[in-house]
Amino acid sequence: MKFENMFTPVTIGSVTVKNRFVVPPMGNNFANGDGTLSDRSKDYYEARAKGGFGLVTVEATVIDKTAKGGTKKALSL
Ligand X SMILES: Cc1cc2nc3c(=O)[nH]c(=O)nc-3n(C[C@H](O)[C@H](O)[C@H](O)COP(=O)(O)O)c2cc1C
- Dihedral sign of CA atoms 29, 35, 39, 45 in order: positive
- Dihedral sign of CA atoms 19, 25, 29, 34 in order: positive
Strands 15-17 and 55-56: unpaired
Strands 15-17 and 22-23: unpaired
Choices 5-13, 19-27, 31-39, 40-48; region in contact with ligand X by CB under 6 A: 19-27
Sole binder of ligand X in the list 26, 47, 49, 77 (CB under 6 A): 26
Choices 12-20, 21-29, 31-39, 44-52; region in contact with ligand X by CB under 6 A: 21-29
24 binds ligand X (CB under 6 A): yes
60 binds ligand X (CB under 6 A): yes
Given the rule CB under 6 A, which residues bind ligand X? 24-27, 59-60
